[in-house]
Structure 1
Amino acid sequence: MNTILRRLYSDYLMPSRLHHYAALLRQASQAGYRQTSVRGWLAALQSGAPDYPVLVHRHDIDTDLRTARALFALEQQHGVHASYYFRLSTLDFGLMRDIERYGSEASYHYEEVATYAKRAHLKQADAVRARLPEIRAEFERNFRRIEAGLGGKMSTVASHGDFANRRLGMVNCELLDDPALRERCGIACECYDPALLASFDLYISDRPAPQYFYPQPPQQALGRHRRICLLTHPAQWRTNWAASSRHNLLRLVEAWRW
């Protein structure tokens, strides 16, 4: 019951936390952190070993485009850059092009492993792995279609975590365990690549209320850790009844059909 009540609060009753995000951007800037995208951080790593404190912002746009636009507006006000990863269900090429024109990064939050498993009614990881060639071909088609709509190159991508992945015990990024696919698509990095994760002193993800962050709030980490990656999701910062309801209903339907 507590889990249901927390979910209802997070999806429908939680006050906006956007002012906390604006305060975080100010605090990080005042503490001397460069706030950049995953792509920007990779470029810095490739040019040498950066000796400045950095806060890498990664946004996974799972459901709520309205709040994604609000986060982007705040970052523009504070001169901050970030990465935005869009699912097929949240693609907004106008917003994505605006993000790229500003100097931030817009790319793909992919989930073909979970999507294929649900569509084909595959419930065992071994059965899904046997279909990886087909799944990789589907990923490549989607990737190239998004690049065409964006009108630019995507060099990093981020795996989405679906309930199907948890039941399968198989993550979407397994499909990128294929150097040839990465080379064909020009993918320099996946956000869960060990080398990228090892470049951070601390990796923080936002969480639903009342926890909000794991393993600690970024405000506490500033000044204690020099290289921080912060993963955020719009739905954790402001409620959107319509987007949350659509997402929750779709999940119920997909679970029933699967």
Structure 2
Amino acid sequence: MVEAFNLISAVISTVLAVVALYLSIVFYRMSTSEAQRSQKSADDIAASVQRLEALFSSLYSDTFSMMRETVTDMRAHAWPTEKSSNRAKEEERRDSEVLMSAQKDIVDSVSEISKRLGLAEGSLDALKAQVDPVVHEAIEKARRSIHQPAKDILVDILTNNGPTRAARLLSLYDDETGQSSGTNPELFRSGLLSGLKDGSIISSVGNSGFPKAGDILAIPEDQERMNLLLPKKSVPARSGRRKED
């Protein structure tokens, strides 16, 4: 009886050992397969991260290159170099020549029409003398009307915001006119120069020439407020001992 029980126990132990060995082999294969899948997923994630890093690096470089070019172009237009200033003067001279030519053509046309109507020579000269200044004034008003709105906008901005640095004023002007930064700096420049010329805008460095980005601009009523923003000049301390009586 005891021998039979021992035999049965040995058989059961052998079966359990075989089952345990089988399960260990199955679990090993499963863990190996999961490890391989996990490693593949990790490799895919690493590759995706590298692609994203390369993409963001490219976007970062392109974005700041565009910003740098935009700011450089804006400065070149709003705060031109001497070469740009000379070019602007040359363009203004050519515009004046074109306007003078147009004025002469108009006066000549009026004279020609007057001759056809049979006016006397003296009357023609008198008519020409009267028409000439009228045409000149009309052309000048047309020129001023181009720059007047920009100047009025700048005066309104300075009235509402108080003394403002030139670079900040350009940004506020773009916001006010609904333009992206530096879209139309020529209007800003011409409007500012017009305001400085007629005294409706004053500058911390005087009204001669175009102000730099850090110069302060204001309306005449804010002269004292502008002066408070200017750096105070340091007074050198007096040295030496006080003389005895």
Q: TM-score, structure 2 length as denominator?
A: 0.21
Instruction: Select the structure with the greater relative contact order (CA < 8 A; seq sep ≥ 6).
Output: 1
Higher strand content, 1 or 2: 1
Q: Could you state the TM-score of these two structures normalised by the residue count of structure 1?
A: 0.20
Whose helix fraction is larger, Structure 1's or Structure 2's? Answer: 2
From the CA coordinates, give the structure whose radius of gyration is larger: 2
